[in-house]
Amino acid sequence: MICFSPEKLGFEKEAHFKEWVSFSESYSDMAVYTLLRSQFEEKGNAVDQWN
């Protein structure tokens, strides 16, 4: 299985919420990543670079 980090795909980390999401009475952190259309078009599709 191949895993990609959002940063390697061109996304930028915008926020990190600690103990934000609850699963079965256990809290987890949540990160928010963004990629603008202009950034995508400028950088190209990063996934294609891995094929």
Per the domain annotation, does 30 fall within a domain? yes
Q: Which domain holds residue 40?
A: 12-50
Per the domain annotation, does 25 fall within a domain? yes
Question: Are the beta carbons of 48 and 8 closer than 8 angstroms?
Answer: no
Rounded CA separation 42/51 (Å): 19
Q: How many domains does the chain have?
A: 1
Per the domain annotation, does 46 fall within a domain? yes
Per the domain annotation, does 7 fall within a domain? no
CA distances from 11 to 4, 26, 27, 28, 32 (A): 11, 27, 25, 21, 10
Q: Tens of pLDDT along 2-41? A: 677 888 888 999 999 888 777 777 888 889 999 988 888 8
Question: Are the beta carbons of 50 and 4 closer than 8 angstroms?
Answer: yes
Per the domain annotation, does 4 fall within a domain? no
Rounded CA separation 2/42 (Å): 25
Per the domain annotation, does 18 fall within a domain? yes
> pTM higher than 0.85, yes or no?
no
